Amino acid sequence: MLAVAIGASLIGAYAEGALLLFLFSTAGALEHFALHRTKREIDALFKIAPKTATAIDPQSGIESEVPVEKVTKGMWLRVRPGDTFAVDAEVMTGESTADESSLTGEAHPVPKAAGDKVYSGTRNIWGSLDLKCLRPASESSLQKIIRLIQDARHSRAPSQRLTDRFGPGYTWGVLGATALMFLVWWQLFDLSQQDAFYRAMTLLVVASPCALVLSIPSAILAAIAWGAKHGILFRGGAAIEQLAGIKVVAFDKTGTLTSGDLRVESIESFPPGQEHAVGQLAYNLELKASHPIARAIVSYGENKGYKLLPVDGFRNLTGQGVKAEINGKKLLLGRRDLLETGPLKQWADQLQEPADGLSEVWLVTPDCVGRILLADRVRPESRQVVSALRNKGVHTVMLTGDRAGAAALVAKAIEIDEVKSGLSPEGKVDAVAQLRQSDRLVAMLGDGINDAPCLAAADIGVAMGARGSDAALEQSDVVLMNDRIERFLDAYQLSCRAKAIIRQNIAISLGTVVIMVLAAIAGIIPIAVGVLAHEGSTVIVCLNSMRLLRTPS
């Protein structure tokens, strides 16, 4: 544009050169304003990170102000009403509610009491809380999200990578074509050198692909900004574009389609009479685990007041359970498979399956065999999500390690299309691979930690409720920062809107270039009109992308 303005002044078109610079500067300001609006949505998340924290001595209660980067794991902190939580921490004393909307998009305050976790960047509303730091600020949920968004802002979508490859060749082609057309108009069409030069400058202006360059990244940035504000994190432009093309969604059951808040219904022992011992041993084994079943057993044990016992040789059996020693006795805790593959197979085959809606965990000891029965509930929103996906032509599948009866009960409640039950983690990965064989894009929705292999195997991995989960952030393409399955629908619809707007932007930018280039070659437009069309299309593209910042009605 500067070259054209200088050229216009050399041939005496001072007014047009000045108008060109005015229009170019005005359009540039509007473009910066549009992109600033988008970036402001993202930068607002960065600014909420607190700089200091109030440390307390748990013995004396003495307070001291410390820089947040010096807060270490295990340090006690005090947070007053209205303060922002500096780090991820566990509530030790006090009651309050937390505004987690900045991190998860959750509109309603979340109650907090002793034993609950709070997350950096969220705000304490009304109570005073004493906390114990779970991890340094550099490893907090907020910092992980900030790093994720910063990476996503610089990650290019497939269509953007295509335009990037197309750009250099196009630039040299336009420069060469402009020089050639100048010679053609001057030598073959008997135009004066001044008129030929004027037309060449007009052609150079209208062929510039500014709108095309901005058409994709502006839409991707706006989609990332809206998602971050509403608790949906995309790991880059590729995830935004690909999610719109999915044809199959595979769901984990526990913690995804169901609430994951399991509760122990009953404990059985064989022979009878040792139920208390079974519960106490299971409680001590599960203290070292973090999956939903373990949390339910630990919570049950705490309510029952079970004693802590020394656990030796603890080992996780992937997809099966755990084994360890307590007081010199070897113990196995896990799925029914542990019985069916050992010397108790004949006895296990005669055992009655638990009632529908109940899950089971088996404990094998030298003295007895125990069974713990647990209940879960289906998320009320799961049926709505499955129904909405079906209406959009997306096939839904449930992948679970649970037995067929329990899986069928959940499948009936939510009316899912297909069920694959009794799967080990390896079996789930194989199931995802089979779904991909028909050249359909497959999204896997899981809890982020236990389902990490499946998330990695799918075309699009979507992690649920993954605040602070490294496995979720590493293996998934999309992270739903709260525990609401309906946010997946929001992510899918946002992806579809973003893809539609990208297509609109490309059509606007390329259409304007083609029409204006033909008009410039025909010599029917002045430089000012060419600049107006060029800069106008650029502004329209940016404003069109900004529509993604609005929540659809």
Q: Which residues are catalytic?
A: 252
* Length of the chain (residues): 553
Phi, psi angle pair for 184, to nearest 5°: -65, -50
Distance set, CA 3 to CA 89, 339, 450 (Å):
58, 80, 59
Contact 134, 87 (CB under 8 A): yes
Side-chain-facing half-sphere of 440: CA atoms under 13 Å: 17
Number of Cβ atoms within 10 Å of the Cβ of 189: 12
Please give the Cα distance from 233 to 42 (Å, whole number). Answer: 11
Distance set, CA 171 to CA 177, 506, 521 (Å) = 10, 17, 18
Alpha helices in 48-134 (DSSP H): 101-104
CB atoms within 10 A of CB 291: 15
Lay out the sheet containing 76-79: strands in order across. 63-67, 52-56, 76-79, 129-133, 89-93, 117-118
Is the backbone peptide bond immediately before 111 cis, with ω within 30 degrees of 0?
no
Cβ–Cβ under 8 Å, residues 65 and 129:
no
How would DSSP label each residue in 453-498?
Answer: HHHHHSSEEEEES-TT-HHHHHH-SEEESSS-THHHHHHHHHHHHH
Cα–Cα distance measured from residue 270 to residue 287, given in angstroms and rounded to the nearest whole number: 24
Q: How far apart are CA 417 and CA 211, in angstroms?
A: 43
Residue 262 CB coordination number (10 Å) = 24
At 404 the three-state DSSP class reads helix
Angle among Cα 403, 405, 406 to the nearest 5 degrees reads: 70
- Dihedrals φ, ψ of 24, to 5°? -65, -45
Residue type, 380: P
507 close to 540: Cβ distance less than 8 angstroms: no
Residues in Cβ contact with 518 at an 8 Å cutoff, skipping those fewer than 6 apart: none
Cβ atoms of 493 and 388 closer than 8 Å: no
| Side chain identity, residue 211 | A
Give the pairing type, strands 395-399 and 418-420.
Answer: parallel
The C-alpha atoms of residue 249 and residue 476 are separated, in whole angstroms, by 14
| 430 within 8 A of 250, measured Cβ to Cβ | no
